[in-house]
Amino acid sequence: MAEIELRELRLFLVLAEELHFDRTSRVVTLTAAGRALHDELAPLVTGLDNTFTRARARAAGLGVVRLGVLNAASGTLVLNDAITRFEAAHEGAAVRLVATPLNDRLGPLRRREVDLSVTRLPLDQPDLVLGPLLSQDDARVVMVAVDHPLAGRPNVSVEDFADYPVRKPADVPELAEASCPSHTPSGRTIVPSDLEVNDISELLLLIAQGRLVHPTVAPFAEHFRHPGIAIVPVRDLPPSSTALAWLKGYEHPARDAFVATVEEVLAR
């Protein structure tokens, strides 16, 4: 058997968890042999990674915490305070913000390109741990072109989504369903747009052109305000929250110290 690098084993484990390749709709399934290999490899690779992490921490102190964010809008005040306190309390420690892809928000966490991610809730992924809440009661809104039929209304209903092409992310099903249900209250099907959207700039352009409506939360819409886009409240969707998330079973002393600092800030 040819020599296999540790990064190749990590890649196999990520693909086995996500069962898709980035930016494609190709469906991947595991054979029985593949599932058995995954179940045997996962604890071994995690154990090796934890050993290396502890060794680095002993040699160089806490070091850097890589924090994945889709946008800087949610939980900003808590994070800013926590980062300042964490870096002041631990010599040589730092928090580095890393932008996560629009269509693969959990991929960097699973590939261990980041140590923590800021995630919108609800989230139900068996390989991830949910930590402290950074924001709560974020209102649901929809972003539409300024000349769109929905733009002049004081608020809209989910019922209206079935009449227009809706952007519904596919990478995390429970998040997509929370922001845009599959059916309206009356039972009409909401069909997601098939337009490919690769990043936030492209998303804003498509909304401003009237080619998409985008159900989201108020912090996202306010952070990415655009002169060609109107923000309209959605009256019949519950508010949302954000939290920190990290990989289950993966040790990282600096990450844990930063999470503890976030909890201290929230307790204040």
Q: With a cut of 90, say whether residue 232 has pLDDT above it.
A: yes
Stated pTM of the model: 0.75
Kindly report the number of other CB atoms within 10 A of residue 185's CB atom. Answer: 10
Which range among 7-11, 77-81, 162-166 shows the weakest confidence by mean pLDDT?
7-11
Task: Give the dihedral of Cα atoms 143, 144, 149, 151; nearest 10 deg.
Answer: 60
Domain edges within the chain: 6-137+242-267, 140-238
pLDDT at 54: 60
**Per-residue pLDDT at 1 exceeds 50:** no
Phi, psi values for residue 36, rounded to 5°: -65, -40
Q: Which residue has the tokens 């769109």?
A: 148
Regarding the domain with residue range 140-238, which homologous superfamily does it belong to in the CATH classification?
Periplasmic binding protein-like II (3.40.190.10)
Residues in the chain: 268
3-state helix, strand, coil in the chain (%, to 5): 40, 20, 40
CATH topology of domain 6-137+242-267: D-Maltodextrin-Binding Protein; domain 2 (3.40.190)
Q: Write the CA distances from 175 to 36, 155, 186, 215, integer angstroms.
A: 29, 22, 21, 11
16-30, 60-74, 101-115, 129-143: the lowest-pLDDT one = 16-30
pLDDT digits (tens, 9 = 90+) for 15-32: 777 666 575 555 567 788
The reply to whether 6-137+242-267 and 140-238 are identical in fold is: yes
Token couple for 142? 């929809």
Predicted local distance difference test score (pLDDT) of residue 55: 62
Predicted local confidence at residue 157, as pLDDT: 97
Kindly indicate the confidence band of residue 35, based on its pLDDT and cuts at 50, 70 and 90.
confident
Give 113-128 pLDDT, tens digit per residue.
999 999 999 999 999 9
Write the pLDDT tens digit of every residue in 39-55.
877 777 777 776 666 66
| Contact by Cβ (8 Å): 138, 91 | no
Least confident of 14-18, 34-38, 69-73, 130-134: 14-18
Helix, strand, or coil (residue 50): helix
